[in-house]
Amino acid sequence: MSDHIISLQGVSKEFDTKNGKITALKDIDLDINHGDSYGIIGLSGAGKSTLVRTINLLEHPTEGKVLFDGKILTGLKNNDLNLSRRKISMIFQQFNLLMQRDAIGNICFPLEIAGYPKEEAIKKAKELLKVVNLEDRANSYPSQLSGGQKQRVAIARALASDPEVILCDEATSALDPKTTRSILALLKKINEERGITLVVITHEMEVIKQICKKVAVIENGQIVERGDVQEIFTYPKTQAARKLFFPVGENKEVFASGKTSTRHRLRLVFDGRSAYEPIISEMIMELQAPVNFLYADMDVIGDQQKGQMVICLADDPQKAEQQKEFLRKAEVDFTEIIEEGEGA
């Protein structure tokens, strides 16, 4: 058996429009292993939602192959394709619940389609409501549920078919931050305890940081960078990844203020060991050169604490080089930010 539960090989997707063909995906190669929590992140219009819909062939690629657990899905007839699709569940931004059914009824729906006896379906639905901590709302209709509760019902429904993969298409974008954290914690628990592969489509870096171990960055229909989340957070190689991982885009007013030099700005990344060491203050005292703090934040990425900071070094080029050398000797990872609002 292959290590890859999902493989996309040379996948491209074109759409015909009144203005001609639009290329949504171009020559995508992507492998996702059994049990992964894999994030696909990109800005609006990057192609990420089209990509996730090709995984279960809700969108058929114009070119290329889609494999699930070693079986080529592209080219399968409808009956065989539907059998394979039962092992790939999906949850959506807008929940997609049936408004005329209560929570139990929504969870039973895919079981009914699969031919489960009614009593067995209800029993399983009740068990899944416990999994998502919603057993007390079994008879509530979607109109009686909060956004977070609706998404919990949707997750229980996704689990009903005993999937091997759950695709999450912007599953928390309609939720407030507190509810988002609780839903992501639930998905992470499902991934770890049940071994279900998660594929998380999002434009939000915080989602990737909280739940994903691996990530692919998509831009203009192409995957431009991929790897472990921790590695790309620390050493983003492409401009697209820097836009997503660097804090500059969220703090344009700070970087465009004109009060700091744009020539000697650094993004520093700290691990759990160095995050609490007074490295910057020691550098200031030893070199007798100022540092301007522009941004600082602490994150937990996976199970490891990471910090990032953006600083402006001394205006004097010689002093700035001494400061960089100090940071190198202290084994602090840093990246120079070359242009206004742009990582380098």
With cut-offs at 50, 70 and 90, classify the pLDDT of residue 143.
very high
User: In this model, does residue 342 exceed pLDDT 60?
Assistant: no
Please indicate, yes or no, if residue 10 is contained in any of the structural domains.
yes
Please indicate, yes or no, if residue 344 is contained in any of the structural domains.
no
Same domain, 181 and 143: yes
Same domain, 168 and 43: yes
3-state secondary structure of 63: strand
C-alpha 295/C-alpha 310 separation (Å) is 5
Of the candidates 206, 236, 266, which is a domain's last residue? 236
Same domain, 277 and 303: yes
Same domain, 305 and 260: yes
Neighbours of 296 (CB within 10 A): 14
pLDDT tens digit sequence for 250-303: 444 444 444 444 567 888 887 755 555 688 888 888 888 888 888 777 777 766
Same domain, 212 and 254: no
CATH number at residue 265: 3.30.70.260
Cβ atoms of 319 and 263 closer than 8 Å: no
Please indicate, yes or no, if residue 241 is contained in any of the structural domains.
no
The pLDDT value given to residue 296: 78
C-alpha 322/C-alpha 317 separation (Å) is 9
Edge-to-edge strand ranges of the sheet holding 304-312? 292-301, 304-312, 265-270, 333-337
What range defines the domain where residue 311 resides? Answer: 246-337
With cut-offs at 50, 70 and 90, classify the pLDDT of residue 209.
confident
Cβ atoms of 218 and 200 closer than 8 Å: no
Same domain, 78 and 215: yes
Report how far Cα 303 is from the mean position of its chain's Cα atoms: 16
Sign of the dihedral defined by the CA atoms of residues 204, 207, 208, 209, in that order? positive
Helix axes 103-113, 147-159, angle to 10 degrees: 20
Of the candidates 216, 236, 256, which is a domain's last residue? 236
CATH number at residue 90: 3.40.50.300
Same domain, 303 and 212: no
Q: Which tokens is 119 given?
A: 């009593």
What DSSP line would sit under 129-148, residue for residue?
A: HHHTT-GGGTT--GGGS-HH
User: In this model, does residue 83 exceed pLDDT 90?
Assistant: no
Of the candidates 201, 217, 236, which is a domain's last residue? 236
Same domain, 62 and 185: yes
Q: How many domains does the chain have?
A: 2
The pLDDT value given to residue 338: 62
